[in-house]
């Protein structure tokens, strides 16, 4: 879930111009924006939305007034696998984060991640908390301590509940940023990036074998293969096909085939129905194939400007669609049929995502960037000079 400005030539060095203030874009070789990634991210977000509205159960079943899987049963063969949109997000994120980090120092990288993740997130927490406090008809009101700790994005490891269920994935994403910051600290090159991917892959396998809690929390073995594969795809996109990069992608695909089966079993229990590990594996394979197409330039002629707009909606949409969407469904389902309720709610969430982006995310990001761009204080005067 990420966007960044980077103009990279085929020679493997980033443009000296660097990022333009207040503007972020996903660009490929020669500075051409990869519009396809914007569209793919929106597809991933909409698939998660469909899962949360028609298959998730729990709160959304309260919103519909009946089990959610009974609302539009003909749609459930698709919506039941919508949770895989998050895995697709992670795959895209590995590609984009590697791209956005190239040619940047550690300070630049960390500032860009903070200004990308937090402004929309803070605005979404305020909006969701206000809505749930005013209308606690589907989900309980969040507590003040819960809200404040959620604002840090560190609540997950501390055992504090998410203000909205989708926030769990942000802690996964944040850990990837912190791990990749090690590469940025040493300098992002082909070799350092390959070494990082290999070490993380080995660490993932060891963690699965050892089942160590510390390693499990640090290396995110359930999802690491997607980030690593995304990085491999970017190396292919930037430098061309090479056995090493394809090897990274291939091994990651094999690991993802194993982890997605375990995830499928977990989601089967969550939504109280049988899900096919074979179908989930096929969807993951399709996601890898699409990203291979991006890496190899198959979609280079897809340059629709509207996809850029779609990309700006994705992150805010992902943040607000579940909790706020359930409230909208609750208010509509008694007056409209299920298809109309689903369509109106989805449209309303897209409009809300745009408003959140324009009125909160952009201005907050600008202010946060100005704050973070200020130099750190010097050591200051000695308060206890020697006598």
Task: Encode pLDDT of 267-315 as tens digits.
Answer: 999 999 999 999 999 999 999 999 999 999 998 888 777 888 888 999 9
Rounded to an integer, the average pLDDT of 316-327 is 96
Whether residue 21 has pLDDT greater than 50: no
pLDDT-based confidence at residue 376 (cuts at 50, 70, 90): confident
CA distances from 371 to 8, 28, 111, 216, 377 (A): 28, 29, 10, 34, 13
Token output for 184: 């940025």
Rounded to an integer, the average pLDDT of 159-172 is 95
pLDDT of residue 8: 32
Q: What angle do CA 322, 1, 249 make, to 5 degrees?
A: 125
Confidence (pTM): 0.88
* Residue showing tokens 């769990």: 168
For residue 98, give the nearest of 199, 196, 216 by alpha carbon.
196
- Determine contact, residues 221/204, Cβ cutoff 8 Å: yes
pLDDT of residue 59: 87
Rounded to an integer, the average pLDDT of 200-214 is 94
**Residues constituting the chain:** 387
Token output for 378: 């010097």
For residue 188, give the nearest of 355, 4, 34 by alpha carbon.
4
pLDDT of residue 4: 36
203 contact partners, CB below 8 Å, separation of at least 6: 215, 219, 221, 224
Average pLDDT, the chain: 89
The one-character DSSP state at 140 is P
State whether residue 313 is helix, strand or coil. Answer: helix
Token output for 289: 């194939």
The one-character DSSP state at 377 is P
Task: Tell me the H-state helices in the chain.
Answer: 35-54, 59-64, 76-79, 84-101, 106-134, 144-150, 168-186, 190-210, 213-219, 224-239, 243-271, 277-296, 306-332, 338-356, 362-373
Token output for 246: 């394809």
Whether residue 208 has pLDDT greater than 50: yes
Summarised one tens digit per residue, pLDDT across range 182-201 is 999 999 999 999 999 999 99
pLDDT-based confidence at residue 28 (cuts at 50, 70, 90): low
Whether residue 9 has pLDDT greater than 70: no
pLDDT of residue 302: 81
Rounded to an integer, the average pLDDT of 321-331 is 96
311 contact partners, CB below 8 Å, separation of at least 6: 3, 26, 37, 38, 39, 41, 42
336: left (phi over 0), alpha (psi -120 to 50) or beta: beta
pLDDT of residue 379: 57
Token output for 254: 């094999």
Whether residue 377 has pLDDT greater than 90: no
Least confident of 21-30, 190-199, 217-226, 326-335: 21-30
The one-character DSSP state at 71 is T
């Amino acid at each position: 879930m990420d966007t960044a400005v980077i103009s990279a030539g085929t020679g493997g060095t980033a443009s000296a111009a660097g990022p333009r203030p207040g503007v972020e874009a996903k660009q490929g070789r020669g500075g051409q924006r990869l519009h396809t990634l914007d569209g793919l991210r929106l597809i991933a977000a909409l698939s998660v939305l469909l899962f949360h509205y028609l298959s998730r159960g729990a709160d959304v079943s309260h919103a519909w007034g009946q089990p959610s899987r009974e609302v539009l049963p003909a749609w459930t063969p698709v919506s039941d696998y919508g949770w895989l949109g998050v895995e697709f997000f992670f795959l895209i994120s590995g590609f984009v984060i590697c791209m956005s980090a190239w040619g940047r120092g550690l300070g630049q990288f960390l500032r860009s991640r903070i200004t990308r993740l937090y402004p929309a997130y803070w605005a979404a927490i305020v909006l969701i908390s206000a809505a749930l406090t005013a209308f606690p008809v589907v989900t309980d009101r969040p507590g003040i301590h819960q809200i404040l700790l959620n604002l840090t994005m560190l609540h997950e490891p501390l055992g504090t509940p998410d203000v909205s269920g989708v926030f769990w994935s942000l802690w996964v994403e944040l850990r990837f940023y912190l791990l990749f910051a090690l590469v940025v600290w040493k300098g992002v090159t082909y070799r350092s990036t390959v070494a990082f991917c290999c070490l993380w892959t080995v660490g993932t396998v060891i963690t699965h074998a050892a089942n160590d809690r510390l390693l499990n929390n640090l290396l995110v073995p359930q999802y690491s293969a997607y980030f690593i594969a995304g990085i491999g795809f970017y190396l292919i996109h930037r430098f061309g096909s090479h056995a090493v990069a394809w090897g990274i992608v291939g091994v990651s695909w094999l690991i993802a085939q194993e982890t997605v089966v375990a995830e499928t079993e977990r989601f089967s229990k969550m939504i109280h129905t049988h899900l096919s590990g074979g179908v989930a594996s096929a969807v993951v394979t399709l996601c890898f194939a699409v990203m291979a197409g991006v890496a190899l330039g198959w979609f280079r002629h897809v340059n629709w400007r509207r996809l850029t707009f779609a990309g700006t909606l994705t992150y805010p949409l992902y943040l607000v669609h579940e909790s706020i969407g359930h409230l909208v469904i609750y208010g509509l389902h008694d007056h409209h049929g299920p298809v109309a309720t689903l369509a109106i709610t989805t449209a309303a969430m897209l409009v809300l995502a745009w408003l959140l982006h324009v009125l909160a995310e952009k201005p907050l990001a600008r202010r946060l960037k100005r704050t973070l761009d200020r130099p750190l204080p010097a050591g200051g005067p000695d308060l206890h000079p020697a006598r």
